[in-house]
Chain A
Amino acid sequence: MGSSIRKAIELILTGDKELLNILATTARVSLTSSLIALLIGIPLGMLLGARRFPGRNALTVLNRTLMGMPPVVCGLLFYMLFSGVGPFRHLQLLFTVRLMIIAQVVLITPLVTCSMETFTADIALPLRETAKGLGFGPWKRFGLLVNECVYPIFSSYLLAFARAIAEVGAVSMVGGAIAWKTNVMTTAIMQYTNRGNFTLGIALGLILLTLSLLVNIVLSLMQRRLSR
């Protein structure tokens, strides 16, 4: 473990170009996919939690089912759709960062949606009764609901980012873990481990954890500032 920590520090201090490339790809994939998942999942979760409409229960069940989708199944599905025999082969997205982001969005959005749906369902009825009783129109009610959801939005983002940065199954299948192109931290760890280079694997793991810790600290500080 000690040698892994030394190796991790050495890689960072020497500015290892491959490591920097892996870090940049990881950041791009994780931040973009978690942000897109947030933009889709928040309104969808709020809609499912706050409104009653035909098909709502079916959508909720579908979303909860998708939450449990194994990443490799998601990866396989996208591989089949975008590979040389798939219906979307002409888009030429297989083994690109773009498809890795799309696959992660599909994996993460149900988590964000469910988190928002659960929170919104708890507050929607008393909030609606109170706001409607005060004579507020639908837009003001919506504004108040969004204001109530600030903390859950932060929590959902943390959840989405954590899932995105730690995910390996889908990104390795659709990205192919190509060095200097689609290799992210998790796929790189897998590669080094498969080659028997445990020290470098653990070093990358430590860097991944540190990166996740830093993002969590920044978001938690922002959340705390908002609560003042």
Chain B
Amino acid sequence: MKSSAFKKSYTGVTVLDMPAFEWCEGTVTAVIGANGSGKSTLAKVLAGIEAPDGRSRPLTGAAVGYLPQKSYAFRMSTERNIALNGSDTERMRELMAALKLDPVAKRKAKKLSGGETAKMALARILMGSYDLLILDEPTASMDMESTLAAEKLIRDCCSRTGCALVLITHSIRQAKRIADNVLFLRNGKLTEQGPAEKILSNPAKEETRRFLEFYGA
């Protein structure tokens, strides 16, 4: 699945200049970079939440799912929130069990803790089927056990549905655990890309190396 090149500017300042890119089906592509490097903007433009400069969408004809950084809990129970995105009860049970959401299934989603809300939001987006699924820091507020369970579900979703999965993350370790490919963004530009193993252990660019050293990769 190819996305065309695009730019995104706010008040005349270009915050993202993305070249044409091919998102491989059935693989996880981790997008890493410092704050303000354009990761979330990339996610929003690909998902059609924000229009790029020129307004022509970089992806056409593809079903794109997007989980924002701060996902919204609708005013209903946890299980109804999850069921909003699909009626496959078997799949719902599977996701809720894997993320240990069963005890809070009937609880109002607005009363969930930050971590529980993140798990509910992940289960909800994984109920759908997409060609490209973009997850913006889905495990940022989860504990270790939940993070590992979420990562397993993310990988399983990718291999089960064959969707291309884009994972925006600050965790280099997470990228190492589940990503097949890595994109490194800096100041709104794609500076390095390639297989996760190569980029995360032996990056070609000095800025990528410094970033990885700082985050303890």
Contacts and interface: CB of A to CB of B under 8 A. Distances in A.
A90 to B, nearest CB: 49
Interface string A127-157: 1111111110000000010011010000000
A126 interface: yes
Interface string B148-172: 0000000000000000000000000
A134 B127 CA distance: 10
B72 A127 contact: yes
Given A126-B68, A126-B70, A132 B75 contact: no
B124 interface: yes
Contacts of B85: 134-135
Contacts of A131: 72
Nearest to A144: B74
Contacts of A129: 44, 49, 66, 68, 72
26 contacts: A123-B72, A126-B68, A126-B70, A126-B71, A126-B72, A127-B72, A127-B74, A128-B49, A129-B44, A129-B49, A129-B66, A129-B68, A130-B68, A131-B72, A132-B47, A132-B48, A133-B47, A133-B49, A133-B65, A134-B85, A135-B85, A135-B128, A147-B74, A147-B76, A148-B74, A148-B75
Interface size class of A (residues with CB under 8 A): 10 to 19
B95 interface: no
Given A129-B49, A132-B48, A132-B66, A150 B72 contact: no
A130 B47 contact: no
Contacts of A133: 47, 49, 65-68, 125, 134
Contacts of A130: 68, 71-72, 121
A150 to B, nearest CB: 7
Interface string A142-181: 0010011010000000000000000000000000000000
B52 to A, nearest CB: 16
Given A129-B68, A129-B72, 20 more contacts: A126-B72, A129-B44, A130-B68, A130-B71, A130-B72, A132-B49, A133-B65, A133-B67, A133-B125, A134-B65, A134-B85, A134-B124, A134-B125, A134-B128, A135-B63, A135-B64, A135-B85, A144-B74, A147-B75, A147-B76
B217 interface: no
Interface of B: 44, 47-49, 63-68, 70-72, 74-76, 84-85, 121, 124-125, 128, 130, 134
Contacts of B74: 127, 144, 147-148
Nearest to B64: A135
A131 B44 CA distance: 13
Contacts of A126: 68, 70-72
Nearest to A148: B75
A178 to B, nearest CB: 46
Contacts of A127: 72, 74
A134 B70 contact: no
Contacts of B125: 133-134
